[in-house]
Amino acid sequence: MIIHEVSEYLQMNLPPVNYYIDQLLAERGTMLLYGNAGAMKSWMAEYMGWCIATGSEWLGFRTTQSRTLLVNFEISELGYYWRLRNMSRHFTLPDEFSLYEASPGEMSLINRTEFDRFKEIVQTISPQVIILDCFQAFFGGDENSLDEVGTVVRYLKELQEDNNAGIVIVHHTNKNEHFLGSMARVRGSTGLVGKVDTVVRLVEQPGGRQLQFEKHRMAQFALHPVNVRFEDYQWVIR
């Protein structure tokens, strides 16, 4: 531990925070995107991946064009192919476009051997952003165990360190979400919420859906909810 005298500390001219998604996903940052079943979390995660890989705005937030890996642990490969193909119509692909996809099926990344195999494959493309959909399908442990959730989070941190990567985890709500405070709505141990930098909730509402920013540790100002709608394989602000 180093103690700094603040007047000297301020003279160090440290570089500003670099974001993959402005105010939301920083280098080596972690975002939790969650919602109930049917909220279209996976569709939102896929669209987010397209936006980052092309450097397009994600629902009003600037992105830095980055090599992005979408890892689908739930949807069939064919179904995922058609989702990505239909979304692609809304993007102009830049010359250095780098969006990757993997559909390994359910895994148990709490198992060190299985995680090491997963990490080795991921490192072959050195992604700057890794989107994991969804937690229950790749965790393989007890979601209510603080120790087991903490173990997987520590493993995922290893993926970040190699390339200053940002990680997005897609997750579900508790069944009794309407009777809980915002942080307790996330399913399983609250240790997961405590370990991530940003928590974004996708909520169903009449006329569309809403993104609610429940935790944004890296943001430099308050973030307000954004009303969104999914139409013709893209998300738009309503």
- All domains of the chain, ordered by start, with CATH? 17-237 (3.40.50.300)
| Tally of residues, the chain | 238
Amino acid 180: pLDDT: 61
Question: pTM value?
Answer: 0.94
Burial of 219 (0-12, 13-18, 19+ CB in 10 A): middle
CA angle 155, 217, 55 (to 5 degrees): 80
Q: How far apart (Å, rounded) are the C-alpha atoms in residues 58 and 38?
A: 21
Stretch 229-233: mean pLDDT, rounded?
95
Q: What is the pLDDT of residues 168-201, one digit of tens each?
A: 999 999 877 565 666 788 999 988 999 999 999 9
Q: What confidence tier does 206 reach under pLDDT thresholds 50, 70, 90?
A: confident
80: three-class secondary structure by DSSP: helix
Residue of 73, 68, 88 whose CA lies nearest to 233: 88
Amino acid 86: pLDDT: 97
* Contact (CB, 8 A) for 173 and 185: yes
Q: How far is CA 238 from CA 77, 91, 132, 209, in A?
A: 31, 19, 27, 9
Amino acid 224: pLDDT: 95
Q: How far apart (Å, rounded) are the C-alpha atoms in residues 68 and 100?
A: 6
Stretch 71-96: mean pLDDT, rounded?
94
**Omega before 51 within 30 of 0, i.e. cis:** no
* Contact (CB, 8 A) for 18 and 183: no
Stretch 220-230: mean pLDDT, rounded?
94
Does residue 13 surpass a pLDDT of 90? no
Q: What confidence tier does 230 reach under pLDDT thresholds 50, 70, 90?
A: very high
Extract the tokens encoding 28: 């080596």
Residue given tokens 């570089």 in the structure block: 15
Stretch 8-35: mean pLDDT, rounded?
93
Average pLDDT in the chain: 93
Beta strands 68-72 and 208-216, pairing class = unpaired
Q: What confidence tier does 134 reach under pLDDT thresholds 50, 70, 90?
A: very high
Q: What is the pLDDT of residues 22-74, one digit of tens each?
A: 999 999 999 999 999 999 999 999 999 999 999 999 999 999 999 999 999 99
Does residue 3 surpass a pLDDT of 70? yes
